[in-house]
């Protein structure tokens, strides 16, 4: 079963790829890893050349802002976070646009908030924008609008992490596959850094309450925000909306190529479209 399901990934045409801050930065300094970003852009450009549509959900804005001021550690205040995000998002997009242009691709920036998605009119506009961007052959680069979306602002809710944001985007555009790249190999029965007996789970046919209970809210790095609980929440959104999802380690971004070639990399969550699943209800009530 597992091998057959993996081979189906070769036929996926509309793919959302999410990469986190900890995967885009040097662990020693927290600065952007330009070589790794260049490899990511090259792989996505090659997928585009093979006739696939790709949306990239990329963290890294705050990290890029911190780099501009040689600031170590996470921002201490809300104002710092917003300021670093404002500065860093521009720098991050400049890097993506320059690198994609070298491979004859056009990057387009899309900034979203949870408030945007729960509003019928703005969600409809966002969906239309994505469709037109993909029709034009661009690579939409998505991030949460951290300059206005934080958990400390009571009138604007946030997604909390780009794992869930990427799943929402996948559901919105009807993606075939969501790939979550992080600093972990996939889903384990327990935290492998603590429990050496933790079992690696290669395929998840269905997300059960027992599986959700495995999630633990720990990011594991100074720049990332999404723990396993967030990834399981993303898997629930993606699979219920009809998209397969793979969690894999971003240490080598070539893993993207291996996944879409049907190799057994990471943890595969199988799509099981739930006709009763209401994305807007989930956004409004689950977090």
Summarised one tens digit per residue, pLDDT across range 61-70 is 888 888 888 8
| pTM assigned to the model | 0.90
Residue with tokens 């690696």: 200
Could you give the CA distance from residue 282 to residue 271 in angstroms, rounded to a whole number? 17
What sections of the chain are H helices per DSSP?
A: 2-7, 21-24, 34-49, 61-68, 78-102, 114-118, 120-135, 162-173, 209-212, 228-240, 255-260, 279-285
Q: Which domains does the chain have, with CATH numbers?
A: 2-285 (3.40.1160.10)
Q: What is the pLDDT of residue 259?
A: 97
Mind listing the pLDDT tens digit for each residue in 78-101?
A: 888 888 889 999 999 999 999 999
Could you give the CA distance from residue 54 to residue 178 in angstroms, rounded to a whole number? 10
Q: What is the pLDDT of residue 190?
A: 79
């Amino acid at each position: 079963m597992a091998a057959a399901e993996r081979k189906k990934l070769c036929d996926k045409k509309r793919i959302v790829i999410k990469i986190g801050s900890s995967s885009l930065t040097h662990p020693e300094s927290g600065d952007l890893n330009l070589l790794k970003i260049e490899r990511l852009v090259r792989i996505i450009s090659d997928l585009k050349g093979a006739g696939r549509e790709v949306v990239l959900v990329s963290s890294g804005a705050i990290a890029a802002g911190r780099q501009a001021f040689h600031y170590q550690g996470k921002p201490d205040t809300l104002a710092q976070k917003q300021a670093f995000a404002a500065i860093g998002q521009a720098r991050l997009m400049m890097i993506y646009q320059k690198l994609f242009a070298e491979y004859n691709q056009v990057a387009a920036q899309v900034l979203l908030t949870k408030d945007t998605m729960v509003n019928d009119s703005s969600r409809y506009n966002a969906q239309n924008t994505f469709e037109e961007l993909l029709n034009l052959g661009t690579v939409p680069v998505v991030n949460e609008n951290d300059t206005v979306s934080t958990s400390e602002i009571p009138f604007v809710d946030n997604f909390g992490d780009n794992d869930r944001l990427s799943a929402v985007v996948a559901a919105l555009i009807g993606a075939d596959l969501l790939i979550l790249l992080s600093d972990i190999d996939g889903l384990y029965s327990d935290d492998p850094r603590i429990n050496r007996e933790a079992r690696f789970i290669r395929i998840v046919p269905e997300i059960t309450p027992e599986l959700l209970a495995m999630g633990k809210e720990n990011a594991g790095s100074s720049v990332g925000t999404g723990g396993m609980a967030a990834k399981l929440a993303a898997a629930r959104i993606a699979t219920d909306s009809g998209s397969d999802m793979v969690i894999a380690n971003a240490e080598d971004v070539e893993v993207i190529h291996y996944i879409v070639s049907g190799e057994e990399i990471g943890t595969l969550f199988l799509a099981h479209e739930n006709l009763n699943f209401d994305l807007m209800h989930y956004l409004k009530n689950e977090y």
